[in-house]
């Protein structure tokens, strides 16, 4: 393959050694016990910190995918490193992790880009973004034989959320999984973080993506991937899929023991 996006946070956010990486993810999955079982999963929400901190929470929702079949996985990520007006689908042919190459579904990507003034194929947002990358090894361990559609939102304003949701609803099918990558609040005390993150949990559980966007805009809640979450939920709603459940919520203090400034994590499933 001529254009491959190589790992940028392997050895930092997760192990660089393939065997160690697979063992770590399998250990997280072994200890995960999601409180729901469902046949028809439309999408998931998963955190994107270093696995030491958020791997447990991510594993609770990825355990639901174990052994399932999806033809493609759309991963929607915020952009932490660069701003750009629009939604960028990786223009190359594959993403690489220590577990191997994941081919980009170019045919499906083109469907999302066609007749859109906001969605484009490019490199913007993909150069160093960890929020998308850290989802990939979990996907490689839990499901097989799938292509990816790597998406980074350079702008999470409502107009971009609505455009992406509309396109996802139009072209996704029952062989498509959507992953929204997001952490919650950053660097508040544990008690304050709990209050902020419980609002996001409530909005997801009540399937109220409009109020979620309002809360994020007003500062009542925080989620760096709020746009991806809302786009996933709105796409589901358009397809008359309106059930959601938060599977696990935690924060960095649960691991570090330092509760003065924590980062919040949440995983959830959107299903019918």
In tens, the pLDDT along 43-52 reads 999 999 999 9
Q: In sequence order, what are the residues at sequence separation of 6 or more whose Cβ sits closer than 8 angstroms to the Cβ of residue 46?
A: 57, 58, 61, 62, 135, 138, 179, 180, 181, 182, 267
Average pLDDT of the segment spanning 146-169: 98
Task: Please tell me whether residue 178 adopts helix, strand or coil conformation.
Answer: strand
Q: Describe the chain by its helix, strand, coil percentages, rounded to 5.
A: 40, 25, 35
In this prediction, residue 36 carries a pLDDT of: 86
pLDDT(109) > 80: yes
pLDDT, residue 37, reads: 81
Report yes or no on whether pTM surpasses 0.85: yes
What is the predicted pLDDT for the residue at 183?
A: 98
- Count of positions (residues) in the chain: 272
Structural domains of the chain sorted by starting position, each given as residue range(s) with its CATH number in brackets: 4-271 (3.40.830.10)
The answer to whether 7 and 97 are in contact (CB under 8 A) is: yes
Q: pLDDT category, 145, cuts 50, 70, 90? A: very high
How confident is the model at residue 1, as a pLDDT? 64
pLDDT of residue 39: 82
Per-residue pLDDT reduced to its tens digit, 65-93: 998 999 999 999 999 999 999 999 999 99
Cα atoms found within 13 Å of the Cα of residue 232, Cβ hemisphere only: 35
Quick one: average pLDDT of 15-32? 98
Interval 177-193 mean pLDDT? 98
């Amino acid at each position: 393959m001529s254009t491959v996006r190589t790992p940028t946070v392997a050895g930092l956010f997760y192990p660089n050694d393939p065997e160690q990486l697979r063992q770590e993810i399998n250990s997280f999955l072994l200890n995960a016990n999601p409180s729901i079982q469902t046949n028809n999963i439309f999408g998931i929400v998963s955190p994107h910190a270093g696995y030491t901190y958020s791997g447990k929470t991510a594993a609770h929702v990825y355990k639901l995918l174990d052994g399932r079949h999806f033809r493609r996985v759309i991963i929607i990520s915020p952009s932490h490193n660069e701003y750009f007006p629009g939604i960028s689908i990786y223009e190359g042919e594959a993403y690489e992790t220590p577990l191997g190459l994941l081919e980009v579904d170019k045919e499906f990507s083109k469907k999302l880009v066609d007749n859109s003034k906001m969605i484009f194929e490019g490199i913007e947002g993909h150069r160093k973004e960890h929020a998308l990358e850290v989802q990939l090894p979990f996907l490689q361990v839990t499901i097989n034989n799938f292509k990816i559609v790597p998406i980074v939102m350079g702008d999470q304003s409502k107009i971009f959320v609505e455009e992406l949701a509309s396109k996802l609803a139009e072209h996704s099918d029952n062989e498509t999984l959507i992953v929204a990558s997001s952490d919650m609040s950053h660097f508040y005390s544990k008690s304050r973080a709990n209050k902020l993150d419980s609002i996001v949990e409530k909005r997801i559980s009540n399937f109220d993506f409009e109020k979620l966007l309002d809360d994020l805009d007003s500062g009542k809640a925080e989620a760096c991937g709020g746009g991806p979450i809302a786009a996933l939920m709105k796409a589901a709603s358009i397809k008359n899929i309106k059930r959601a459940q938060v599977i696990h919520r935690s924060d960095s203090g649960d691991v570090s023991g330092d509760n003065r400034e924590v980062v919040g994590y949440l995983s959830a499933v959107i299903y019918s």
